[in-house]
Amino acid sequence: MNESVPTDPTSTDAPRYDFRAAEPAWQRAWAERGSFHVDDVPVGGKPKYYVLEMFPYPSGKIHMGHVRNYTLGDVVARYKRARGFEVLHPMGWDAFGLPAENAARERGIHPAKWTWDNIAAMRAELQRMGLSLDWDREFATCDPAYYGHQQKLFLDFLTAGLVERKESWVNWDPVDGTVLANEQVIDGRGWRSGALVEKKQLSQWFLRITAYAPDLLSALDTLDRWPERVRLMQSNWIGRSEGALLSFTLTQQEGDIAKAEVFTTRPDTLFGMSFLALAPEHPLAAAVAARDPGAAAFIADCRRMGTSEAVIETAEKLGYDTGLTVQHPFIEGATFPVWIANFVLMEYGTGAIFGCPAHDQRDLDFARKYGLHVTPVVLPAAGDPASFAVGNEAYVGAGTIFNSGLLDGLEVDAAKRSIIAELEKRRIGTGVVNWRLRDWGVSRQRYWGCPIPVIHCDACGIVPVPADQLPVRLPDDVTFDKPGNPLDHHPTWKYVACPKCGAAARRETDTFDTFVDSSWYFARYCSPKVDVPVDRAAVDHWMPVDQYIGGIEHAILHLLYSRFFTRAMKQTGHIAVEEPFAGLFTQGMVNHESYRATDGTWLYPDEIEKRPDGTASHRETGAPVVVGRVEAMSKSKRNTVDPGAIIDRYGADTARWFILSDNPPERDMEWTEAGVAGAYRFTQRVFRLVEGCDEMAAAMPSEFGAAGRDLRHVAHRTIAAVSDALESFSFNVAVARLYEFVNAIADADRANDRAGLPWARREAMEILARLISPMMPHLAEQIYRRLHPAAAALVVDLPWPQPDPALVAAETVTIAVQVMGKLRATIAVQPNAAADTVIAAAESEPNVMRLLAGKHVVKRVHVPNRIVNFVLAG
């Protein structure tokens, strides 16, 4: 494996492209010229283009996912730049987060040191990729110079009524003393401590994303450069549903509770009611539990069960009859039992439902289990009202309402409207729109995050930190020797005077969810040094991001939060746009084969030797190796490839080229050693071609032979084809066209008719240098310099080449000749030749003649420049 790569580039006779010398040299040249620098508010009138890739978390090393992400972005940035746009292409660090605190707890390294060291290491790795980034704009979200402005934004949101403090149910780890995200609860236990997680009500800060729910949903239609499925995922997440809110009166008051409010999307089925069910966390359930140990035990069971996906999948519907009953709002004297049910969610609607088993599958399962009655009220078109019954499958289709008093005879939709009007008339309910989206809880009991800038005063309540006291900085001297939030344990940090009354008060010790940090960084990049969150002129110029690129895993949370934040910033006067990302591209993952020794231990790709038949053995011991599935690179399976090692061995251009060439960028790709080696061979091949290039003749020759003419056609068509491919994110197709182009240049070198060929060949190399420059920027510069040893210009400063329309047009076209739709011959004709001429030429082809002999041709189809088809009788 990999013998094709010389350890010493000078070890063979052929001229070698020495990427180890060339790549850093060109990177220095770009940096010295400030090639990728742009101003906050540019003058000069070039159209702007803002390219952004999702900024990395500084884990310590870049991985292949980063390489793919930043290569894709760099192709776009360099291409748009050549196309005459002023391109903003910044980079920074999503630098707060739990891993830094884990490093502190496990290894005693301060989170700040751990983070900044990682940033330094990763910056160096990224710089080796030769990305066209404006490094002057770099920042890290853990820098007070960033998070101080975030605190200001929060205070502005607070003033604007976009922030709330409210009680909410959270996953609480009693051992670690912290709130856990749903993803951090595994089988009901804390992922770190292993302790049973409790549901706890806690006072938390919330950003009122629900205030924008209608707009966040409807504006999805305007995001026409977003992938359809991302818009769909957001739409589902926001989850609009129309229905009714109605309240049921208890026949006997429970404590001071007299009514239960219910949300339903099927108010038309109200007469099919059989029971009322409460979520275990519902206040009425709690009131019952206070006097009924059976109810209390049932609620405790539900709480322990949790709501993880695996549990829901298998859990059967369980209920507890409270003994309470409610009156039916329309059926005089009818009452229904009130149950507590494990399948009712407190988070959705009102936490209470009315059960109509005939027309809801869950309600039906529940009713069958507990012997509750099932009354159908929607009759299918072909149904007989006297005999229609529901078995074990609820009927959820269209139909006519029956058994329903005033609704009888109405269709489902009409019945909904009618019953809502009636509810509103009697003041027991209203038609409402309900949203699945919840407000965004941003409080985290952690040290390594942005402090929430408020102060708790016993006298004044919650007092915002005055703007002139921002940033609220994290203290450096913290310890991680006990569980819980180090900010809370700090001896002095939280004790401050109330800004209002001066009395002793306490700082908020919670910090922001790190998703807050990434919800506005794209705006900060426009003016990263100013002493306000954003400079209006700068964001007005640069925003929105024209092309955003990142992983599909952020389809909902990060992108939705950013859309919300941008709206909130607009409302508070920081920005003019409300959609942050005009174009979104979601890339696929980078996968790799996995390998295991016969004892089951995972092996790194470096440790194994592949054989041509696809089997493998251990490189050192020769022991057999099991070649496993191609799957996402992960440390535990050791199927990772280190980008740094690849760049050492093959160079950045090779890595970039391979990652672009393998497949369409939105799909998952497989990283293969053979594929990288192939890309490396291509870089050397291109370099050899320029070595064989003659000096440019001063003027274009007046005559070209066939080879020169053909090459010029290919060159100019390649410009057109590569441009099209780059515009449509078909980078693998752009690569394929460039392979063809290089093959054509090599073919021309073997041609006999050499008139004008040296000139044409050199023109081809010039075009090649520019066309590969978005993908392989270093090699492009190297070729260009070889062609123009004295030139001061760099490819990076040159405009994108324009194809000559006369050369893009064909001299002859190949027409496919079909008989009865099957290909029988091809003929070469002049472009746009007359139908008669083409059909005559086609009919004179021997093979066609043979097939047409003695047959009656009923139709001759001619599609100009494409095809002739003879349709025979019978």
Q: Interface with RNA includes 187 (CB under 7 A)?
A: no
Residues 6+ apart with CB under 8 A from 743: none
Q: Which listed range, 46-54, 699-707, 741-749, 833-841, lies at the site for RNA (CB under 7 A)?
A: 741-749
- Provide the minimum distance between the beta carbon of 228 and RNA in the complex, in angstroms, as a whole number: 6
Q: Binding RNA by CB under 7 A: which of 122, 415, 677, 769?
A: 677
* Beta-bridge partners for 549: 53, 585
Q: Which tokens is 393 given?
A: 């499958």
- Work out how close the CB of 474 gets to RNA at its nearest, in angstroms, rounded to a whole number: 32
Position 685 contacts RNA (CB under 7 A): yes
- For residue 619, the minimal CB distance to RNA (Å) is 17
By the rule CB under 7 A, 733 interacts with RNA: yes
Cβ closest to RNA, residue 300 vs residue 312: 312
Yes or no: say if 547 and 585 are a contact pair by the CB < 8 Å rule.
yes
Query: Among 263, 320, 493, 671, which residue sits at the site for RNA (rule: CB under 7 A)?
Result: 263
How far out from the chain centre does Cα 75 lie? 19
Give the one residue of 228, 332, 384, 476 binding RNA; rule: CB under 7 A.
Answer: 228
**Residue 556 CB, nearest approach to RNA (Å):** 6
Instruction: Please report how close the Cβ of residue 824 comes to RNA at its closest, in angstroms.
Output: 5
Verify binding: residue 835, RNA, rule CB under 7 A.
no
**Hey, which residues between 62 and 91 contact RNA (CB under 7 A)?**
none
Q: Work out which of 317, 494, 563, 717 binds RNA, going by CB under 7 A.
A: 317
Looking at the Cβ atoms of 284 and 452, the one nearer to RNA is: 284
Query: Does position 670 bind RNA by CB under 7 A?
Result: yes
Task: Note whether 743 binds RNA by CB under 7 A.
Answer: yes
Among 364, 647, 669, 841, binds RNA (CB under 7 A): 669
List 661, 723, 773, 782, residue binding RNA (CB under 7 A):
661
Which string of DSSP letters, residue by residue, matches 650-696? H-HHHHHHHHHHSS-TTS-EE--HHHHHHHHHHHHHHHHHHHTPPPP
Instruction: Give yes or no for residue 222 binding RNA (CB under 7 A).
Output: no
Site for RNA in 360-389 (CB under 7 A): 360, 362
Among 598, 826, 830, 837, binds RNA (CB under 7 A): 826
Q: Kindly state the DSSP code that residue 417 receives in the 8-state scheme.
A: H
Q: Hey, which residues does 40 pair with through a beta bridge?
A: none
Binder of RNA out of 642, 740, 804, 843 (CB under 7 A): 740
Residues 306 and 197: beta-carbon distance below 8 Å: yes
CB of residue 460 to RNA, shortest distance in Å: 38
Q: Binding of RNA at residue 236 (CB under 7 A)?
A: yes
Among 369, 417, 529, 681, the residue binding RNA under the rule CB under 7 A is 681
Q: Which candidate, 444, 469, 541, places its Cα nearest to that of 152? A: 469
* 784, 794 contact by CB (below 8 A): yes
Which residue type, as a one-letter code, is found at position 222? T
Among 33, 166, 225, 229, binds RNA (CB under 7 A): 229
Whole-number Å distance between alpha carbons of 149 and 140: 13
DSSP 468: G
Query: CB of 55 within 8 A of CB of 90?
Result: no
CA atoms of 666 and 706, how far apart (whole Å): 40
Contact map string, positions 269 to 308, toward RNA, x by CB under 7 A: ----------x---------------------------x-
How far apart CA 502 and CA 292 sit, in angstroms, is: 48
Place of tokens 């090393």: 61
Size of the site for RNA (CB under 7 A): 90
CA dihedral 654, 656, 660, 665 (to 10 degrees): 150
Query: Between residue 592 and residue 631, which ones bind RNA under the rule CB under 7 A?
Result: 612
Nearest-approach distance from CB 693 to RNA, in angstroms: 15
Q: Does 867 engage in binding with RNA (CB under 7 A)?
A: yes
* Site for RNA contains 247 (CB under 7 A): no
> Using CB under 7 A, which of the segments 48-56, 493-501, 569-577, 670-678 binds RNA?
670-678
Question: What interhelical angle do 643-650 and 673-691 show, nearest 10?
Answer: 30
Region from 384-392, 683-691, 757-765, 775-783 binding RNA, contact rule CB under 7 A: 683-691
Nearest alpha-carbon partner for 521 in 44, 96, 48, 25: 96
Q: Are 319 and 366 in contact (CB under 8 A)?
A: yes
Name the one range near RNA by CB under 7 A: 127-135, 234-242, 473-481, 601-609: 234-242
* Interactions with RNA, residue window 320-349 (CB under 7 A): 342-349
**Least distance CB 560 / RNA (angstroms):** 12
Q: Counting contacts by CB under 7 A, is residue 701 touching RNA?
A: no
Q: Cα separation of 398 and 405, whole Å?
A: 19
Binding mask 405-434 for RNA (x = CB under 7 A): -----------------------------x
Round to whole Å and give the CA distance between 71 and 322: 61
- Chain residues 544-583 in contact with RNA, contact rule CB under 7 A: 552, 556
Tokens standing for 816?
């496919």
Q: For residues 774 and 17, what is the distance between their CA atoms, to the nearest angstrom?
A: 18
**Minimum separation from the CB atom of position 795 to RNA (A):** 22
CB of 649 to RNA, least distance (A): 14
Q: Does the protein bind RNA through residue 312 (CB under 7 A)?
A: yes
Q: How far is the CB of 860 from RNA (least distance, A)?
A: 9
Kindly tell me which residue out of 202, 286, 432, 816 binds RNA, with binding defined by CB under 7 A.
Answer: 816
Part of the chain binding RNA (CB under 7 A), chosen from 132-140, 249-257, 594-602, 678-686: 678-686
Write a three-state SS string for 166-215: EEEEEEEECCCCEEECHHHEECCEECCCCCECEEEEEEEEEECHHHHHHH
The H-or-E segment that residue 163 falls in is strand 163-173
Using CB under 7 A, which of the segments 233-241, 531-539, 779-787, 799-807 binds RNA?
233-241
Choose which of 546, 662, 710, 763 interacts with RNA (CB under 7 A): 662
Position 754 contacts RNA (CB under 7 A): no
Strands 335-341 and 319-327: antiparallel
Query: What is residue 316's DSSP assignment?
Result: P
CA 702 from chain centre, in angstroms, equals: 54
Q: Which is nearer to RNA, 463 or 867 (CB)?
A: 867
User: Which range touches RNA (CB under 7 A), out of 66-74, 461-469, 543-551, 675-683?
Assistant: 675-683
User: Token match 């990772």: residue?
Assistant: 640
| Site map 10..49 versus RNA, x via CB under 7 A | --x-x-----------------------------------
CB-based contacts of 603: which residues, under 8 Å, 6+ apart? 595, 596, 597, 618, 625, 638
Q: What residues have CB less than 8 Å from 327, skipping those under 6 apart?
A: 248, 249, 250, 251, 334, 335
Nearer Cβ to RNA (236/844): 236
Pairwise CA distance, residues 562 & 523, whole Å: 10
Contacting RNA within 755-814 (CB under 7 A): 814
Residues 6+ apart with CB under 8 A from 136: 37
Among positions 684, 718, 773, 782, the unique one binding RNA when judged by CB under 7 A: 684
Of 353, 364, 496, 534, the one binding RNA (CB under 7 A) is 353
Q: How far is the CB of 695 from RNA (least distance, A)?
A: 22
Torsion angle defined by CA atoms of residues 776, 782, 785 and 786, in that order, rounded to the nearest 10 degrees: -120
Q: Binder to RNA among 192, 208, 436, 619 (CB under 7 A)? A: 436
